[in-house]
Amino acid sequence: MFKNSLILFISLFLCMSVYSQEVIENKQHKSTIIATQSQVTPMVKDTIQYSGNNYSFRNEVLTLNKMEGMMQNNTVATEYLKSAKGSSGFANVLAYAGGFLIGYPLGTAIGGGKPNWTLAAIGCGLIVIDLPIISSANKNLKKAVKAYNLVETLSRVEKYELKLGMNQNGMGLALRF
């Protein structure tokens, strides 16, 4: 029985010394407070969510212009978003041109005329060139959203602190938030 009590006491003592950061002495009340690490719980309900290519904020689908309005106070997110908008605009032009150059010979072939397959090959080439540009735009957009969410999450953090205290009356826990 004594051996179990000794092991329990040593374990509790080690836990207090391992998980505490500093000892604060209050000489007026003759007590010692052992401060533990502060815990941070992020709130994520006001962040931009994304799945695939759909971005939403509070269950409302966002366009690039709406996102730009939301991110205007965050310079890092705004820079990523501007880069994504520029890349996606150029990518859309290439995609439409490539689609037209593929579709025109196909329409001619379906209509019974003699198609110019060189145009279709050029259209395929434009679409192949377009794929990395679209990928880059999507990566920049995700970086913008992550930068925005990081700042928004850090600005809405609830901090609390758990303290273990000892005085002449015994031990106690204090939770501050």
pLDDT score for 155: 59
Q: Identify the CA nearest to 19 among candidates 11, 31, 27, 9.
A: 11
- Candidate ranges 50-54, 119-123, 150-154, 158-162; pick with highest mean pLDDT: 119-123
More confident residue, 64 or 19: 64
Alpha carbon distance 30, 44 (integer Å): 42
Residue 42 pLDDT > 60: no
E strand spans, the chain: 20-26, 31-36, 39-41, 48-51, 54-57, 60-61, 158-167, 170-176
pLDDT score for 44: 47
Alpha carbon distance 56, 145 (integer Å): 10
pLDDT score for 130: 93
Report domain extents, the chain: 2-176
Q: What is the mean pLDDT of the chain?
A: 75
Mean pLDDT within 7-26: 48
pLDDT score for 17: 46
